[in-house]
Amino acid sequence: MPDIILPYEPIVITDTTDLPRDEWLAYRKTGIGGSDVAAILGISPFGTARDIYYDKLSIASFYDDEANKYQKKIGTLLEDVVAEMFAEVTGYRVFKIRKMFRSREHSFMLADVDFFVQLPDGSFAILECKTTSPDATEKWWDGDKPTVPLNYQLQGRHYMPVMHINKMFYACLHGNSENYLIVRELDRDLEYEAEMIALEEDFWNNHVLRQVPPPYIEEGDLIIESVRRHFGPANTDLPPIALTGQSSHYLLRFLELQQAKSEVEASVEQIDQELQRMKGLIVAELGAGCSATCDVNGTP
């Protein structure tokens, strides 16, 4: 297939054809990529904004760790297969440009796109290829309405302004044939995009460039994973750390909630015991019977 020239080309950072992974990761640290956005906005199911911050400053790796390494590898290996299936199902022309791009308007925005699509009217779209397990396909539905998982939506909404392209396609494979291919599309939303870019810019300028860690706003499990990724396993030999300021309030609130939970659990246990006792006494009255009538305050 001859090379296709897009009507607009952002700044080319590097050719990725034979780029070693460590060099590819190094280029990613020079800006924000599409897969960074959900974590930066605090809505990623996989990581925190602090993880992206640590990764950009080479403090702790986020994308090259051991977590889910085989799942990630399988997803990468199947990208070409998913793209081929998408082309067969839709009839659209699919091609790859092996380059990493940087936005001309916003230098912190990077794009390393899976594939591009040429539509029948001659316009272009972006194709993002995904794989998932059969029991995770509900993420691609909102009730009975087709949808795109929010973290993937943000990835696409990041790519479209970098490439000046107005449509995203997603192809998600959850089986071993084209019958198990989920296809979704997403159109550009300039208002949504402007707000997203402003948040990305704030993260890049006020946290990464100034080396100020962003606050943790995510769920507790993600925060704990982030801390362990940064500091390593907990060390019982270290001396106690004095908590001050906001951290002391976190501890007090934790203890309050722990006490409240204990009281609720004790109350529930007491109620369960009383229920079981009443049930036993009623069964004792019934003997071999299975039903009864009862006169309560004169009412049968």
What are 64-119's pLDDT values in tens digits?
655 566 666 776 778 999 999 999 999 999 999 999 999 999 999 999 999 999 99
219 CB-side CA count, 13 A: 7
- Tell me the pLDDT tens digit for each residue of 141-175: 999 999 999 999 999 999 999 999 999 999 999 98
Does 220 score more than 50 pLDDT?
A: yes
Give the global pTM.
0.84
CB-based contacts of 125, cutoff 8 Å, min separation 6: 116, 117, 119, 165, 166, 167, 168, 169, 185
Does 52 score more than 90 pLDDT?
A: yes
Token pair belonging to 80: 């070409």
Q: Residues 208, 116: contact at Cβ < 8 Å?
A: no
